[in-house]
Amino acid sequence: MKIGIDIGGSHIAVAVTDKNLIVEKVEYVYEKDFKKEIRKNIEKYLKEKIAIMLEKYEIKSIGISLAGYIHENTLIISPNLPDLNGINFSEVLSEFSVPVFVNVDSLCAAKAEKEYGVLKGYQKGIFLVIGTGIGGVLFDKDYISVQEYGHMVLVKNGNLCRCGKKGCFETYGSMKAFKDSVEENLGISNHSGEVIRAYIRENKDDMKVKQVISNYVDDFCFGLSNIIDISMPEVIGFGGSFSYYEDILLQKIEEKLKETTLFIDKKFMPKLLIGNFHNDAGMIGATLFN
């Protein structure tokens, strides 16, 4: 068995995995006090949870999934978790004497879905992890690479992105962008994704709700169409917290792409699929690199 860890922009999760199965999992959504000293608190949280799991299971290695540029188990830079820049997880977790492997979250999630999930059997495709930001991976047979789709510019002098540029795709198409719009237009603030989804489902015929969804779908499809034109994949898989909005967003995105001329040739319209492992894909995939 192995320990898989997902460190996101809004939550952290730690699980014991056995290939594609999660044996045990704990997770925590960051609260204000936790965020004030997020680096210190994440290190403490990881050590506490790992210690408990090592007592219960025979663990071969620890895999960590997170967004940013990573080199030799060190997070060099992360737009969504800047307080963690420079952290070396091998050093942080050295007391456990278990090998540690760190990889980009989108690559981890795509690895899980390609080997065991919704992308298995496809030759050329894309996997997008959509949460606080947008991470992307392109695969073509045995070739796989991380793509910075989230930071392609859609709008000149548009919304300011945490990376420092303006108009990035993730400032319009991420779940953070969607939730910001919900808060601004529907007055639902400081609530979990579960509460937001429940509200939208209960008020699906409300004109304000419809407009929020429509605006998001328009922006999302504009960015997605560029990705389709560039890569011409046969399938696009979606993970991250976006995967929990399948009934709210996916059909509308498919309809928008089909009814417009957003991309060059509609014969290259790929299949759009929600990942089998939802927000757990990063943890599972993180354990598949060692």
Confidence category of residue 142, pLDDT binned at 50, 70, 90:
confident
What does the block give as tokens for 259?
């009814």
| Best CATH choice for the domain 122-274 from the list 3.30.365.10, 3.30.420.40, 3.40.50.300, 3.50.30.30 | 3.30.420.40
Q: Residues 163, 101, 48, 195: is their CA dihedral positive or negative?
A: positive
| 3-state SS, residue 34 | helix
Specify the long-range contacts of residues 244-249, CB closer than 8 Å, at least 24 apart.
Answer: 244/193, 244/194, 244/197, 244/278, 244/279, 245/175, 245/178, 245/197, 246/274, 247/201, 248/197, 248/200, 248/201, 248/213, 249/213, 249/216, 249/217, 249/220
Structural domain boundaries in the chain = 2-108+280-289, 122-274
Please determine, for residue 266, whether its predicted confidence score (pLDDT) is greater than 80.
no
Please determine, for residue 263, whether its predicted confidence score (pLDDT) is greater than 70.
no
Q: Please give the radius of gyration of the chain, using alpha carbons only, rounded to the nearest integer.
A: 19
Q: What topology does CATH give the domain 2-108+280-289? A: Nucleotidyltransferase; domain 5 (3.30.420)
Please determine, for residue 265, whether its predicted confidence score (pLDDT) is greater than 80.
no
Query: Cα-flanking dihedrals φ and ψ of residue 263, to 5°?
Result: -125, 170
For the chain, how far is it from start to end, CA to CA, in angstroms?
12
Cα 26 to Cα 139: distance, rounded to the nearest angstrom = 30
- Work out the average pLDDT over 124-137: 92
Per CATH, 2-108+280-289 and 122-274 having the same topology is answered yes
pTM of the model as a whole: 0.85
Cα 59 to Cα 42: distance, rounded to the nearest angstrom = 21
Residues of the chain with pLDDT > 90, as a percent, come to 74
Angle of helix 207-231 relative to helix 251-259, nearest 10 degrees?
Answer: 60
Q: How do residues 12-47 score in pLDDT, each as one tens digit?
A: 999 999 999 999 999 998 988 999 999 999 999 999
What does the block give as tokens for 186?
């529907």
Q: How do residues 249-259 score in pLDDT, each as one tens digit?
A: 999 999 998 88
Residue scoring higher pLDDT (187 or 75): 75
Please determine, for residue 267, whether its predicted confidence score (pLDDT) is greater than 80.
no
